Structure 1
């Protein structure tokens, strides 16, 4: 690849792209909602949420000064992030809290990029984040899961037409926004049956003395706010009937 080609790619990444038609924004939102709602589809795509969840734990551990040992992803869509440091205190609390809130917050950031017209930048930012997470993976299934996800995003960003890239970016963003709430509901369902004694919420309860249910509510609040704000941004740039258009 010569310098002119590299410059062209860079210009495409940092530049803006036209907003898609309102029907594509709405259609991708509907498709994402179906993907989160249908159990068989959700079971496959939940791996994406797990990658984001464990990536959130890992990032929080690093920024709070903990020593990150690695991430493991499992075929049942569960995962674990191992870090070393004090088993109490601010760093441990932030690390434990970060998992469930990371997917919806990533969706909110993605919605912000799309609202500004940065479709290509969103796709390449996703590849960079997946590459960073790949460096932390410590098991074969985790490598397969992250590489497969990254490969799909790369193929779309490199070979897809503008319309295909837009459809994928909006579907991906809607999915992160909708998918933020379902794991929280699944968490509380397991907790109510005594099947998640070491969940993030229960770890936070032991660390802070605040009830685990209160932490679940906090996870849910972040997910709902991100969905409402992100959904508004996505629709605001595409649907002319929304206020302010």
Structure 2
């Protein structure tokens, strides 16, 4: 009980505003290098990529809920693939929820960077921890449950044990890693359509093309615009924080 009270108090404390993060070049370069090390090499991507996949599938899930669809379950596999089962009216809701998979990690990453720029990094960490904890109700396979539990546990530990002065740096790092991960996944799905056509049936862009009269390249372009825009906005805010 004491542990739960401590956790809840830490979550509530996180909603207090903090000072916007001020960056200097060398610490920022060090953080960027660490983020690249955790997201680009295949060995580390095998682990962190599961979290990006989790965020990807949550993007589908929340977009489905926003358009009135019913979520039957969410699956995450260790090969970085995922699946969301939902039902509702065909048409816009199915297309809208189908689109917000690949762009979601980039949008969340941009939002995390923005939270450090506007002085709300602690709130972002608390909100993220609560969302990850609540998302456990969607999972329907053991691999997905394991990924979700590890992600949720890591988020709760960060909320409770991250020193106040380090929270903005942690949130900025998570944002950068999600942005890098989203770009990596974008190149992967484009590669499926250009070089590995045998896997195209599993692509979100292909599935969206079957649900609408728009071709797959249109949806790939949509992914690129949202992800690229998120990276540019995040980069602009980071540049403004540099002193």
Q: After TM superposition, is the score higher than 0.5?
A: yes
- The answer to whether structure 1 residue 36 and structure 2 residue 39 are counterparts is yes
In structure 2, the gaps of 5 or more residues are: none
Change (3 A) 1:120 1:207: same
Pairing 1:46-125 to 2, within 5 Å after superposition: 46-86=49-89, 88-125=90-127
Deviation at 1:186, TM superposition (A): 0.6
1:9 Cα shift?
A: 6.1
Query: Counterparts in 2 of 1:130-149, with a 5 A limit?
Result: 130-149=132-151
TM-score normalised to structure 2 length: 0.89
Check 1:61–1:167 CA distance in 2 against 1; reply closer, same or farther (3 A cut): same
Name the CA shift for 1:228/1:34 in 2 (closer, same or farther; >3 Å).
Answer: farther
How many equivalent pairs are there?
A: 238
Distance 2:66 2:116 in 1: 27
Q: In terms of mean alpha carbon deviation, does 155-164 or 71-80 score higher?
A: 155-164
Q: Using the alignment, how far apart are the partners of 2:10 and 2:82 within structure 1?
A: 39
Deviation at 1:8, TM superposition (A): 7.9
Structure 1 residues 91-240: aligned runs within 5 Å:
91-192=93-194, 193-194=196-197, 195-237=199-241, 239-240=242-243
- Displacement, 1:202? 0.6
C-alpha spacing 1:44/1:7, structure 2 compared with 1 (3 Å): closer
Q: Root-mean-square deviation (CA), in Å?
A: 2.4
TM-score when normalising by structure 1: 0.88
Over 3 Å counting, the alpha-carbon distance change for 1:196 and 1:7 in structure 2 is closer
